[in-house]
Amino acid sequence: MTDKTKSGETAEQPTPSEEGRKSATAADSIVQLGQTSIPSGESNIFCLTIIGQIEGHLMLPPQNKTTKYEHVIPQLVAAEQNAKIEGLLIVLNTVGGDVEAGLAIAEMIASLTKPTVTIVLGGGHSIGVPIAVSANYSLIAETATMTIHPIRMNGLVIGVPQTFDYLEKMQERVTRFVTRHSRISEEVFKQLMFKTGELTRDIGTTVIGGDAVKHGLINAVGGLGDALKELNRRIGERKANVAEGGSKA
């Protein structure tokens, strides 16, 4: 089908089959990745969402809202390689999940060369804490919460010293990452982690908004506008540094 333009020329209109394919692709992206588009040239900022429960090596029940790490890792690689993507915004509302999968995502975000900003909306609990602090700059909504607690194991646990040594090493991995990528000290982080009486069925601490900033976990309290403003500022600085380096050469 064709349509007359104002200049008298004809413009090609997409056929119904093409529109159907585009709609199907968009729907697949929403279902599989939780977003309306994959990294492309439409924007210089790539938005990555970490929502629900972080799924690792074992599949969770279908009724669970999950973020699959095998989906997230290729997206991060694509965003890093795409020259049109100049910065990444990571939005978190997660209850936590698989420890190694969460750490893998956090390590990849921390190793990106492009400016990154994370924002915690709703919650960034458990293994979501390392992901929240993995970016160059982190924000948290005023009403958002972050739960800090020791690592737990599901399923069969063999009560031998080696099992507890393994858990301790896993815990140290999380602690080292968080303290290395935030302003919180190891002592304060462990105090929050092993605090009793605050969580009903577990030990640990839930910090809300400004408390996360006071403890040094998160850089600032803010919303989406603040996150985008900070990310654009860092993108501008990176461009200026690259231009300055090129002029000196």
**DSSP assignment string, 80-136:** HH-TT--EEEEEEEEEEE-HHHHHHHHHHHHT-SS-EEEEEEEEE-TTHHHHHHSSS
On whether the CB atoms of residues 145 and 119 are closer than 8 A, the answer is no
pLDDT tens across 167-202, in order?
A: 888 899 999 999 999 999 999 999 999 998 888 678
On the 0-12 / 13-18 / 19+ scale of CB atoms within 10 A, 143 is: exposed
* Distance separating alpha carbons of residues 207 and 118, to the nearest angstrom: 17
* Distance separating alpha carbons of residues 245 and 249, to the nearest angstrom: 6
Active site (annotated) includes residue 138: no
Domain 45-247 belongs to what topology?
2-enoyl-CoA Hydratase; Chain A, domain 1 (3.90.226)
In three-state secondary structure terms, 219 is: coil
Under 8 Å CB-to-CB from 85, ≥6 apart: which residues? 39, 44, 45, 46, 79, 114
Q: Which of 125, 134, 149, 182 is catalytic?
A: 149
Residue 170: predicted pLDDT: 87
Q: Which of 125, 126, 134, 182 is catalytic?
A: 126
Work out the end-to-end distance of the chain between its first and last CA atoms, rounded to an integer number of angstroms.
53
* Distance separating alpha carbons of residues 202 and 108, to the nearest angstrom: 30
So where are the chain's domains? 45-247
Spell out, as residue ranges, where the chain has pLDDT lower than 50: 1-2, 4-10, 41
* Distance separating alpha carbons of residues 93 and 52, to the nearest angstrom: 7
Active site (annotated) includes residue 126: yes
> Hey, what's the torsion of the CAs at 111, 113, 114, 118, to 10 degrees?
20
* Distance separating alpha carbons of residues 127 and 94, to the nearest angstrom: 9
Tally the residues of the chain.
Answer: 249
Q: Containing H/E element for 46? A: strand 45-55
* Distance separating alpha carbons of residues 167 and 7, to the nearest angstrom: 71
* Distance separating alpha carbons of residues 21 and 9, to the nearest angstrom: 27
Q: What angle do CA 20, 91, 56 make, to 5 degrees?
A: 80
pTM for the structure as a whole = 0.79
Residue 140: predicted pLDDT: 98
